[in-house]
Amino acid sequence: MNANKHATGKNWVDPDDAPELTDEFFDRADEYKGGALVKRGRPKSDVTKERITIRLSPDVLSSFRATGSGWQTRVDAALRDWLEQHSAK
């Protein structure tokens, strides 16, 4: 037996079996202007937030997480509110 046991067979694909290129396909396709890829999605914000590590009490963290998606934004808003009420004016 001279056959290579690790060899894999060739998977021939019939070009007639290729999916039809529809308008939906072209709507989702990458777009290039010159040689540069046009980025899709939400544009970058003028005001970006900084990623940090912070240690919170378990009860505080669980309370904010229990409010559902967007809890980190609500923590940010709570801290901003505290700063407005306790400014050093």
The more confidently predicted of residues 5 and 54 is 54
Q: Is the pLDDT of residue 1 over 60?
A: no
Q: Angle of helix 58-66 relative to helix 71-85, nearest 10 degrees?
A: 120
Cβ partners under 8 Å of residue 6, min gap 6: none
CA 50 to chain centroid: 17
Taking only the tens place, the pLDDT of each residue in 35-53 is 888 877 888 888 888 999 9
For the whole model, what pTM was predicted? 0.51
Nearest to 38 by CA among 29, 46, 49, 26: 29
Q: Which amino acid is located at 65 in the chain?
A: R
- Cross-strand pairs, 36: 33
User: What is the widest separation between alpha-carbon atoms in the chain?
Assistant: 89
Query: Does residue 84 carry a pLDDT above 60?
Result: yes
